[in-house]
Amino acid sequence: MNIRHNPIPVAPGFEPIYAHAVEIAAGRRTLHVSGQIGQDVDGSVPPSFEEQFRLAIGNLGAILRGAGMGIEDVAKLTFFLTRTADLPKLREIRRELLAISPAVTVLVVSALAGPDLLIEVEAVAAA
């Protein structure tokens, strides 16, 4: 199990989705997951942020399972968004689908690899 460190209290309400630091014990396998986008296996990209985010998390879950890991093994998540207006929806869906508390990073960028992409999710996991 990765160890979460929150020696200084974070703002109320963020404890379930945030840790100031995550310690990975010696001897654990580490997996670095490339950015996952909201693209289905048929190559289609849904128009809404919510649909894309759910697909990206589903893709992340499939990669983790393929490596014998799960969401609970994630030590760090990085979210790349193209619109700051999507931050509230990101927080809502993140609480729903990623009931873990890794250290997280949220970056707002001007564009991703395709003009229709609204989010990309990168992860580091250890098990």
Domain membership flag for residue 38: yes
Is the pLDDT assigned to residue 73 strictly greater than 80?
yes
Q: For residue range 17-66, list pLDDT tens digits in order.
A: 777 788 898 999 999 999 999 999 999 999 999 999 999 999 999 999 99
d(CA 115, CA 127): 35
The CATH number of residue 106's host domain is 3.30.1330.40
Q: Which has the closest alpha carbon to 1: 14, 35, 19, 97? A: 19
Question: Can you say whether the dihedral through the CA atoms of 77, 105, 38, 100 is positive or negative?
Answer: positive
d(CA 79, CA 91): 11
Domain membership flag for residue 51: yes
Domain membership flag for residue 95: yes
- Structural domain boundaries, residue 50: 26-126
Query: What total of structural domains would you count in the chain?
Result: 1
Domain membership flag for residue 10: no
Least confident of 38-47, 62-71, 78-87, 97-106: 97-106
pLDDT, residue 55, reads 97
Mean pLDDT rounded to a whole number for the chain: 89
Find the helix or strand (DSSP H, E) in which 91 lies.
helix 87-97
